[in-house]
Structures are given as structure tokens and as C-alpha cells.
């Protein structure tokens, strides 16, 4: 074990930096370029259809088939223009992460690229392996994902991702998004009634959230030498560090250069996805850091946080780093 650690230290000491440059020093030039948001919808849809979608989103109403067809066709054209080949319903099963099952726009039987409103609105991924393998028999494992139009579609890699809820065919919730949407609707209904006692014109009350994300960064070689980190993403064995949180030199200290490159890199990816990241700094424990966004509507903020953790994990790989989200000390 000790030998493995020395070898890991030697490997990491010889690693080159991966310098990262902003595509444009004005972030506003590329912020949200991979998001099919209200502006993109407005320019791609005829005004009557666009207004119908905005009204349905605002009032938590169902979007009819013709409107869904128009949105699907506009989203497909926008995405294909950016080199996208596949689409997926993007959901949050009870695994602590996100899930996706990609389908190609290309329909071999029709010989053309297709994306219908019905495919945007609902998909049927197998739910037998959620939240963990073998929990349901295949014959009763049908699950449905259903489009959540209150959170915008986005491009991730070469795939158009559609935020969705995930329920079983018996209507049971299988994800973390459906309970959140139900709670937000309940808060909206109750709070609006109270507000209307004072102002009859108030139609909706929405909640906002800006969740800071703390994380540890560890070199890939050191990570691979630690079976507990590999298996569980957190410290299971070890001893207290010689230099833990009792030292005050880390919090808000200068950011180590490899971590700084990593931060810049995932910030750029996140900005393109419309995630409003604002703040970065060293956290209190050794090798612990924090990133914080601006406040947004709760459902969108939550989707952005889920997406951010995925982006960070993928970008860390480019820098030969691993990122850990469990909030406990990394014991060496
Ligand atoms: Mg903090």
C-alpha cells in the first residue's frame, strides 16, 4: 500500500498542466449557447405557438400534441444545426446522479432524421434496474419519463437532453424531480392564496435556490491507490491527517495551479450550458474547494446542480484528477 502511494506521488509530480483559455473573455458571448431556452424558442416558433408554450409552463398546464410537435421540430432543427445526432430523456433516478438513454434522430426505416412531439413528451425506459439492479422483475418494470417543460433542453456532447420526470407504470415516483415539482406546485398554490389577500393580481409564487457545491480534488493516481475512494467515493479507512481543518491556511487561500485549470475548464463548460456560476474558492479542508452559482428558480437550479456535478466529473478526467462530492475529510 505504501509503495503504491509513493508510485502515485511520483506519477503526479511529473504530470504536465493542462492550461485552459476562455473561448472569449466576455462570458456573455457564449453563456447558454448550448441551451434551447426561451430566446431560442421565440425565434424558432411562430408567436401563437410560443405563447401557448410559455402559458403552459407558467400555469403548470399540459402541452397539447400539435404544440409539442412544433417544439420538437424546432428543437431538432436547432440541435442538428449544432452537430447533434441523438436525443435523450434526461432524468434523476434515485442513484444520486443523472441517467440518460440516447436515441438517434435518424430513422433508418424512414431514411430521414425525425423527432416527433410524442417522443419529446414521453419515453419508456426500462425501470427494472432503478434505483438498483434487480429490484423489479422485468415484466412489471415498465417506467415512463415525461417531459418537464419548465426546465430548458440542452446539448451535452452531441446529444439533445430533455429534462424529464421518471415514474413507474403504476404511477409511483422513481426519481427526485417529481416530488420536487409537486412540492413547488403546493407551495405556489398555498402562497398565492395568502398573497392574494393583499394583492388580487398575484397569480404565482415561485421559490429560488442558489446551492453552493463543495468538493474535494485528488490526483487520479492517488485516487486509484485508494480502494475506499474508488468503491464509495469517500474515506472508509485511514487516520486523522497531520494537517486537517485545525490549520487556517487553506480557506480562501491561493488556488493550486492544476486545480485552477480544472476550475476554469468546468466553468466554461457550465456557462455554455447556462449554469450561472459566479464564485470559486478554496474550502476549509485540505484539497477542498467550492463553486457557487447565482440564485435561480428551484427546479432549474436543481437540474443545474445535477448537471454541474456530471460536468465536473467528466472535466476532471481531462486533467487527470478525480472529484469527490462526499462531505468528509480526505484522510491520507
Ligand atoms: Mg462553503
Gap from CA of 290 to ligand 1 centroid (Å): 6
Same domain, 156 and 227: no
Minimal CA–CA distance to 251: which of 287, 210, 211?
287
User: 73 and 156 share a domain?
Assistant: yes
Distance of CA 265 from the midpoint of ligand 1 (Å): 21
Residues 170 and 253 in one domain: no
Which of 186, 205, 224 terminates a domain? The answer is 205
214 alpha carbon – ligand 1 mean position (Å): 6
For residue 30, how far is its CA from the centre of ligand 1 (angstroms)? Answer: 28
* 63-77 residues labelled b (16+ CB within 10 A) or e (exposed): beeebbbbbbbbbbe
Sign of CA dihedral 156, 157, 160, 164: negative
Q: Using the mean position of ligand 1's atoms as its centre, give its distance from the Cα of residue 306 in Å.
A: 18
For the stretch 251-258, contacts whose Cβ atoms lie closer than 8 Å and that sit 24 or more positions apart, written own/partner, are: 251/282, 251/283, 251/284, 252/281, 252/282, 253/282, 254/282, 255/280, 255/281, 255/282, 255/289, 257/17, 258/15, 258/17, 258/319, 258/321
| Nearest CA-CA partner of 93 in 126, 117, 61, 138 | 126
**CA pair distance 173, 221, nearest whole angstrom:** 39
Q: DSSP assignment, residue 105?
A: S
Regarding whether 169 and 60 lie in a shared domain, the answer is: yes
Gap from CA of 152 to ligand 1 centroid (Å): 28
Strands 159-168 and 143-147: antiparallel
The grid cell for 218 is 485528488
Please say which residue of 190, 205, 220 terminates a domain.
205
Kindly state whether residues 236 and 265 are assigned to the same domain: yes
How far is the centre of ligand 1, averaged over its atoms, from the C-alpha of 272 (Å)?
Answer: 24
Q: What are the grid coordinates assigned to 78, written together?
A: 436547432
CA–CA distance, 66 with 119 (Å, rounded to integer)? 13
Parts of the chain with a pLDDT under 70? 1, 131-136, 138, 241-249, 328-332
Q: Residue 156: exposed, middle, or buried by beta-carbon count in 10 A (0-12, 13-18, 19+)?
A: buried
Q: Is 72 among the domain residues?
A: yes
Grid coordinates belonging to 286: 485540505
Nearest-CA neighbor of 162 among 56, 81, 72, 90? 90
User: Do 199 and 115 fall into the same domain?
Assistant: no
- CA torsion 248-253-259-260 (nearest 10°) is 170
Ligand 1 mean position, distance from CA 212 (Å): 7
Whether 160 and 79 have beta carbons less than 8 Å apart is answered as yes
In terms of domains, do 113 and 142 share one? yes
Query: 57 with 150, same domain?
Result: yes
Instruction: Specify whether 130 is located in the same domain as 251.
Output: no
User: Could you tell me if residue 331 is inside a domain?
Assistant: no
Are 235 and 318 in a shared domain?
yes
Measure 69 CA to ligand 1 centroid, in angstroms.
44
Q: Domain tally for the chain?
A: 3
What is d(CA 156, CA 307) in angstroms, rounded to the nearest whole number? 10
Cα of 184 vs centre of ligand 1, distance in Å, is 26
Look up the pTM and report it. 0.90
Q: Output the CA 209–ligand 1 centroid distance in Å.
A: 15
Does 332 map to a domain? no
- Is 191 part of any domain? yes
Asked if residue 200 is part of any domain, the answer here is yes
CA of 311 to the centre of ligand 1 (A): 20
For ligand 1, the distance from its centroid to the CA atom of residue 101, given in whole angstroms, is 34
Q: Does 79 reside within a domain?
A: yes
Q: How far is the CA of 288 from the centre of ligand 1 (A)?
A: 9
How many A from CA of 309 to the centre of ligand 1?
16
195 shares a domain with 116 = no
CATH number of the domain within which 84 lies: 3.10.20.70
**Ligand 1 center to residue 280 CA distance, Å?**
10
| Domain extent at residue 160 | 35-175
CA distance 160 to 82: 10
The pLDDT of residue 330: 47
Q: Sign of torsion, CA 131 132 135 138?
A: positive
Q: Report if residue 329 sits inside a domain.
A: no
**Judgement on whether residues 109 and 50 belong to the same structural domain of the protein:** yes
Amino acid at each position: 500500500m505504501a509503495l503504491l502511494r509513493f508510485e502515485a506521488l511520483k506519477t503526479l509530480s511529473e504530470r504536465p498542466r493542462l492550461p485552459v483559455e476562455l473561448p472569449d473573455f466576455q462570458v456573455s458571448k457564449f453563456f447558454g449557447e448550448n441551451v434551447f431556452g426561451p430566446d431560442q424558442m421565440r425565434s424558432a416558433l411562430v408567436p401563437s405557438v410560443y405563447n401557448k408554450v410559455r402559458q403552459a409552463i407558467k400555469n403548470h398546464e399540459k402541452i397539447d400534441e400539435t404544440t409539442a410537435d412544433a417544439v420538437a421540430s424546432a428543437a431538432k432543427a436547432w440541435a442538428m444545426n449544432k452537430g447533434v445526432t441523438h436525443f435523450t430523456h434526461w432524468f434523476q433516478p434515485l442513484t444520486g446522479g443523472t441517467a440518460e438513454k440516447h436515441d438517434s434522430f435518424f430513422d433508418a426505416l424512414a431514411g430521414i432524421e425525425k423527432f416527433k412531439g410524442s417522443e419529446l413528451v414521453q419515453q419508456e425506459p426500462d425501470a427494472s434496474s432503478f434505483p438498483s439492479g434487480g429490484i423489479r422483475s422485468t415484466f412489471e418494470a415498465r417506467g415512463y419519463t415525461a417531459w418537464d417543460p419548465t426546465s430548458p433542453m440542452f446539448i451535452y456532447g452531441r446529444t439533445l437532453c430533455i429534462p424529464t420526470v421518471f415514474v413507474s407504470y403504476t404511477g409511483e415516483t422513481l426519481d427526485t424531480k417529481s416530488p420536487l415539482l409537486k412540492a413547488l406546485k403546493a407551495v405556489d398554490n398555498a402562497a398565492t392564496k395568502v398573497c392574494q389577500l393583499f394583492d388580487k393580481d398575484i397569480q404565482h409564487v415561485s421559490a429560488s435556490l442558489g446551492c453552493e457545491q463543495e468538493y474535494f480534488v485528488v490526483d487520479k493516481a492517488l485516487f486509484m491507490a485508494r480502494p475506499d475512494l474508488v468503491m464509495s467515493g469517500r474515506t472508509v479507512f485511514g487516520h486523522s491527517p497531520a494537517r486537517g481543518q485545525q490549520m487556517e491556511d487553506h480557506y480562501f487561500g491561493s488556488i493550486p495551479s492544476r486545480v485552477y485549470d480544472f476550475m476554469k475548464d468546468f466553468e466554461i463548460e457550465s456557462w455554455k450550458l447556462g449554469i450561472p456560476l459566479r464564485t470559486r474558492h478554496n474550502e476549509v479542508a485540505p484539497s477542498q474547494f467550492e463553486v457557487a452559482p447565482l440564485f435561480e428558480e428551484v427546479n432549474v437550479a436543481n437540474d443545474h446542480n445535477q448537471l454541474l456535478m456530471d460536468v465536473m466529473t467528466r472535466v476532471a478526467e481531462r486533467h487527470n484528477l478525480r472529484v469527490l462530492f462526499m462531505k468528509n475529510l480526505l484522510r491520507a
